[in-house]
Chains A and B, each alone.
Chain A
Amino acid sequence: MITLQRISKAYGSHRVLDDLTFTAEAGRITLLVGANGCGKTTTMRLLAGLSAPDRGRVTIAGHDIARDRAAALAALSFLPQSPRFHGALSVEALLRFYARLRNVPDSRAGTLVERWGLGRHLGTPTGKLSGGMRQRLALAILLLADVPVLLLDEPGLSLDPDWRGVLQRELERAARDGRCVFVSTHLLGEWEDRADRCLVLEGGRIGRELPPNRLRDVFPFASSVMRRANAV
């Protein structure tokens, strides 16, 4: 479970988050949506411990990230938006490195290599991977450790529809296993009937919560894009 309590964050005079409070429960997929610049990425940075709030408290699986950072980070796995890696390292070297950091056996990495279709690219330097392949590698790294909290920032970007389907099934399985899955996304239509909750970030706080089975109706632009995509 993750909790943000009365979080405020400003960059200079621009206040991005203002008294933001919410909880994302274990065993559920929670979406965070909102317009560009509303503070989604700032919220993800705070949750991942990459930035500190000006005020308020962030807890990951019961660990206050400011006071017990190591335990909080051990409880989460994070997928940054548009992930990139050291270009000289191969897919295999990277997976082994993160497996060591997470104390995960190599066999687990092998399973994820197969699941994410990376088997033929093990020796390829990551600098030569396409955007989609990099995203799949980052997803394999995300799922290496059996942690209670998964944070994903725009995970569907760069993935083709087939792999987006695989991603959603993986995240549904993670939620069924009791993990807290927290996703920041713009691809609302794809999450309809798959997410359990949908929080809308407006004016630096959660402005409303949407019914997860009506995302296309509530966001007509996303809906029209989906209709056009389906027609094509």
Chain B
Amino acid sequence: MANARLTALAATFRREITAHRLNRFLHVHLAIAAVAGLLPLFTPAHTSGAAPWWLLQAVLYALSLSALLLGLSSAHGEAEELALLFTQPVQRWVWLSGKAAGLAALIVPAALLLIAPAALVGGLTVELAGIAAASAGLTLALAAAGLALGLWIRDGVRGLLAVMGLWFVLLFGADLLLLAVSGAPWVHRYPTLWIVPLMINPLDALRITVLFGFGDAAPAALDGSRLAGWWIGRSQSWLALVLVSWTLAGFLAAVAGSRRSVDV
């Protein structure tokens, strides 16, 4: 049984890699990573030091979206074949594990493209390695979210709208909402309720980690809330925890989505 699972997992992994050779979303994702990697060269005097700030923008505003779309396209690529795939003697979580592993094998190395130019010019620093790891983790987590959305919402247009909606919420929506309620008395009474949504949003967690963790830019005033101080003090570990949680949640949601009824 274990052998059969391993064989199925390996076959699905290979299939995922092969299927993405012609995937435009992957090509765009890799192109963005390669071009964004050149951004730190615009500040030649501080290539290594400035790289995290440049790369943060690229990850937040471009790679996050392309990772979501890549996950969605990975799910929708199979949509018409599900009736055949799901009548094979392979458990759906095994099939999805192979698929997720293939997606990870494609998306994680893109983070190396992101830091390669800065590392070549200014040398590999801890900050650069950190931003590469954070970028790899974030794009993997968002690809898992895209995969889950694609398996739940199998219509192409609706899936695209859902992905765009999620991206806007993560990038702007949640922050705008928090900003809107920031003056409310209950927020001042219970600041934790205001901070937790920021902490569990992977894009905000990345922002905080790069701004305060790598850059040591945290003003002392932020220590006014004990939770905020705790978070900033452990931002890198917290980011890792958030990204692992999002990846696992995305995978489990994708497994649940794959159990939905299939049209034939």
List B residues 73-103 near A (Cβ within 8 Å).
77-78, 80-81, 83-84, 86-91
List A residues 40-59 near B (Cβ within 8 Å).
41, 44-45, 48-51
Neighbouring B residues of A125 by C-beta, 8 Å:
22
Neighbouring A residues of B15 by C-beta, 8 Å:
86, 89, 93, 97
Question: Interface stretch among A31-39, A77-85, A200-208, A222-230?
Answer: A77-85
A-B CB proximity, top 8 nearest: A100-B11, A84-B80, A74-B89, A80-B83, A78-B87, A73-B89, A80-B264, A88-B22
13 contacting pairs across A/B (C-beta < 8 A)? A48-B87, A50-B86, A50-B87, A73-B87, A83-B81, A85-B81, A86-B19, A88-B20, A88-B23, A88-B77, A102-B88, A102-B89, A153-B264
Contacts A80-B264, A93-B15; A98 near B81 (Cβ below 8 A): no
Contacts A70-B89, A97-B15; A103 near B4 (Cβ below 8 A): yes
| Contact between chains at B22 and A44 (CB < 8 Å) | no
- Please classify how large the interface on chain B is, using the bins under 10, 10 to 19, 20 to 34, 35 or more: 20 to 34
Neighbouring B residues of A48 by C-beta, 8 Å:
83, 87, 264
| A123 proximal to B (CB < 8 A) | no
CA distance A176 to B183 in the complex (A): 79
A157 to chain B: closest CB distance in Å? 13
Neighbouring B residues of A73 by C-beta, 8 Å:
87-89
Count of A-B residue pairs with CB < 8 Å: 84
Residue of B nearest to A87 (CB): B77
| A138 proximal to B (CB < 8 A) | yes
Contact with B along A53-71 (1 / 0, CB 8 A): 0000000000000000011
| Contact between chains at A86 and B83 (CB < 8 Å) | no
Residue of A nearest to B14 (CB): A97
| Contact between chains at B89 and A50 (CB < 8 Å) | no
Neighbouring A residues of B244 by C-beta, 8 Å:
none
| A29 proximal to B (CB < 8 A) | no
CA distance A203 to B139 in the complex (A): 52
Neighbouring A residues of B7 by C-beta, 8 Å:
100-101, 103
| Contact between chains at A98 and B88 (CB < 8 Å) | yes
CA distance A100 to B18 in the complex (A): 15
Neighbouring B residues of A4 by C-beta, 8 Å:
none
Residue of B nearest to A81 (CB): B264
Neighbouring A residues of B91 by C-beta, 8 Å:
70
| Contact between chains at A101 and B90 (CB < 8 Å) | yes
CA distance A81 to B19 in the complex (A): 23
Neighbouring B residues of A141 by C-beta, 8 Å:
84
Neighbouring A residues of B261 by C-beta, 8 Å:
50-51
B44 to chain A: closest CB distance in Å? 41
| A174 proximal to B (CB < 8 A) | no
| B195 proximal to A (CB < 8 A) | no
Contact with A along B164-176 (1 / 0, CB 8 A): 0000000000000
Neighbouring A residues of B78 by C-beta, 8 Å:
86
| A76 proximal to B (CB < 8 A) | yes
| Contact between chains at B19 and A138 (CB < 8 Å) | no
| B226 proximal to A (CB < 8 A) | no
| Contact between chains at A50 and B10 (CB < 8 Å) | no
Contacts A50-B86, A103-B4, A125-B22; A86 near B77 (Cβ below 8 A): yes
CA distance A169 to B21 in the complex (A): 38
| Contact between chains at A101 and B21 (CB < 8 Å) | no
7 further A-B contacts with Cβ under 8 Å, apart from A49-B87, A81-B264, A101-B89, are A50-B261, A50-B262, A88-B19, A96-B11, A101-B90, A103-B4, A153-B264
Residue of B nearest to A78 (CB): B87
Residue of A nearest to B8 (CB): A101
Neighbouring A residues of B21 by C-beta, 8 Å:
88
Contacts A73-B89, A87-B77; A80 near B22 (Cβ below 8 A): no
Contact with A along B112-156 (1 / 0, CB 8 A): 000000000000000000000000000000000000000000000
A212 to chain B: closest CB distance in Å? 25
CA distance A141 to B84 in the complex (A): 9
| Contact between chains at A101 and B88 (CB < 8 Å) | yes
Residue of B nearest to A98 (CB): B88
Neighbouring A residues of B20 by C-beta, 8 Å:
88
